[in-house]
Structure 1
Amino acid sequence: MIFQNENSFEVKEKIQKFQIAILPIGAVEAHGPHLPIGTDNYLAERLSERVAERTGAFILPTLPYGQVWSLKNFPGSINVSNESLISLLFDIGISLYEQGFKMFVIINGHLGNAVAMKEAARKLYSTYPDFRVLYLFYPGVKQVTEEVREVKSAHATYFHACEIETSYMLYLAPEYVDMARAITDIPNIPPSADIMPTPWEEFTKTAVLGDARAATAEKGEKIIEVAIENMIKLIEGAKNGIK
């Protein structure tokens, strides 16, 4: 259900009935020559649609800006500070609670938002302990990702415009992918990048961290379907105890 399509005369009763709000959150940032700068938004939106269909949740308007400090100097990237993002997520959560929602599910398409989402969830818990706040980023996909991956990852944690993320897009939003422009760029990411602030232009000129040419919709489907199943299980589990 699309929240912004509701009207104020009827929405209160629906909130009381369905109780769950899903917020897609992404980012605007460089994703190589073959993917749009809104990639993370498209992924978050398509994931949210599929999860909402099976949980009876409302889908809120997408929050399209994220913390992209590492890529903020690439053309097209728009960066929002963690502090701003925490405040915005917290304020949205407060409004949802006061409107009668019992659960706030943030479905994230951008790794850089993780810190802000967790901190906002903590603040909401401190304010309203009975308000369930979930922050989800492709949960439980490590094993299946390793099974479908053909090219070694450039980094143990990062995946970006590479075989994996491009496969996600080919499965969820293929109309935005130009595989004719896909490239291979497997940069040497220094260990210091894990312990020090490191703008990505120090180790990549393309913002691609892997072999985008190895991406397929079939790979994306295998991983994404596991993520969706895990999201649904986590949401259903969090319903326990809601009054």
Structure 2
Amino acid sequence: MYLADEAWPDLESYFETESLALVPLGSTEQHGPHLPEGTDHLIAEALAREAADRTGYLCTPTINVGVSSHHRQFHGTMWANAPAFRDYVESITRNLTYHGIDRVIYVNAHGGNVQHLREVGRRLRDSGDAYAIEWMWDESIPDLVDDLFEQNGPHGGPKETAMIQHIAGELVHDDRLADARDGGLSAFDEFTGRKHGARTFYDAIDNSANGVFGDQTDATAEKGQQLFEAASDQLVRLSEWLADQPFESLVAKRHV
């Protein structure tokens, strides 16, 4: 069920019988010369809607702009300052609690949002109003990602390229995949951007001239379909698990 498509009287029965909502979040930021700036929020919304369609749980409209200032040097990147983002997401979530939702899955597709969504989840749990958890699609299927790609890359790499080839292939510049690889950082390891154990970079451009990492030529729509189906399965299972938990088992424990 997609909240924005429903008339308010038709949502009454959902709020009377269910207490879970899926909230997709992403970003609007550069993803190299080959992918749209909406890559992250397109992936998040597609996965959340798929899980909602399969389970009947509620999917809210997508939060399209995230914490992305580390991509600001590239044309068109939009970002929210971290405190404003946290407050906005918390406010939106409290909208849902007003209607009776007490558990939320943040269906996230942008790494820059992770720590801030975790902080919002802690606020809501500590107040006893809701149990909200962050879910990152690629972290739910790490073995498959590793199996499909020689160098998957943390941003704008083949895993995101393959997902957009599957979800919205018309937005991918397939003729630029080699340029994306050759103009970015295709080979890296845990020591890249670090000196004597310290992380020395702040922005994507500090490590990659065109803002992306990995070998994009390794991506195909067929691999994207595999990723999408596997991640959707994980999100469905998570939704069903969370809906089954007694709320008292989710809230913060009392001091002992």
Residue of structure 2 equivalent to 1:134:
133
Instruction: Report the TM-score, using the length of structure 1 for normalisation.
Output: 0.90
Change over 3 Å in CA distance of 1:10–1:221 after alignment to 2: closer
Does 2:124 match 1:121?
A: no
The Cα shift of 1:179 comes to: 0.6
Q: Is the 8 A contact 2:158 2:216 kept in 1?
A: yes
The Cα shift of 1:9 comes to: 2.8
The range that moved more, 88-97 or 112-121, is 88-97
Residue of structure 1 equivalent to 2:169:
174
Residue of structure 1 equivalent to 2:100:
100
Residue of structure 2 equivalent to 1:241:
245
Change over 3 Å in CA distance of 1:105–1:198 after alignment to 2: same
1:223 pairs with 221, 227, 242, which one? Answer: 227
Give % identity.
Answer: 25
Alpha-carbon distance between aligned partners in 1 of 2:6 and 2:159, rounded to the nearest angstrom: 36
The Cα shift of 1:218 comes to: 1.9
Structure 1: any 5+ residue segments left out of the alignment?
none
The Cα shift of 1:221 comes to: 2.1
Residue of structure 2 equivalent to 1:147:
147
Alpha-carbon distance between aligned partners in 2 of 1:79 and 1:72, rounded to the nearest angstrom: 8
Change over 3 Å in CA distance of 1:238–1:170 after alignment to 2: same
The Cα shift of 1:75 comes to: 0.8
Residue of structure 2 equivalent to 1:75:
75
Q: Secondary structure at the match of 2:67?
A: coil
Structure 2: any 5+ residue segments left out of the alignment?
248-256
4+ runs deviating over 6 angstroms: none
Instruction: Report the TM-score, using the length of structure 2 for normalisation.
Output: 0.85
Residue of structure 2 equivalent to 1:43:
43
1:211 pairs with 208, 211, 215, which one? Answer: 215
For the aligned residues, what is the CA RMSD?
Answer: 2.0
Alpha-carbon distance between aligned partners in 1 of 2:152 and 2:168, rounded to the nearest angstrom: 23
1:190 pairs with 189, 193, 208, which one? Answer: 193
The Cα shift of 1:196 comes to: 4.2
Change over 3 Å in CA distance of 1:204–1:197 after alignment to 2: closer
Q: Is the 8 A contact 1:41 1:64 kept in 2?
A: yes
